[in-house]
């Protein structure tokens, strides 16, 4: 096993992960996680890949890799929002923002 494969595959810092490298990782059915731009990809069942605990099918995960490796920051943010939506974090962020707005409105009304 290569030194690079011992802990996890990484696609940050040293360069972007190509689509071909992603396909190779999936086809190898590796039990090691794949790190792409701060997000962790883990193979679960057939055609299911968990990205930060959110479940995606292979085609969606491949699209996430494309978006995360894009030079366009809006595409990268779009991929991050897709991951947050799928793993439930976006819902918590929205609920937190709504609670903060309600508190501010209540404080302003009491004055």
Dump pLDDT digits (tens) for 38-91: 899 999 877 899 999 999 999 999 999 999 999 999 999 999 999 999 999 999
On average, the pLDDT of the chain sits at 85
Q: What is the pTM of this model?
A: 0.73
Vertex 50 angle, CA 48 and 52, to 5°: 165
């Amino acid at each position: 096993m290569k030194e690079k494969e011992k802990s996890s595959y990484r696609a940050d810092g040293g360069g972007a992960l190509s689509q071909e490298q992603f396909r190779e990782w999936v086809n190898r059915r590796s039990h090691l996680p794949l790190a792409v731009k701060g997000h962790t990809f883990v193979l679960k069942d057939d055609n299911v890949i968990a990205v930060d605990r959110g479940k995606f099918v292979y085609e969606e995960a491949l699209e996430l890799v494309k978006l995360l490796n894009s030079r366009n920051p809006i595409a990268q943010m779009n991929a991050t929002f897709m991951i947050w939506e799928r793993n439930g974090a976006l819902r918590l962020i929205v609920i937190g923002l709504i609670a903060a707005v309600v508190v501010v409105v209540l404080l302003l009304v009491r004055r």
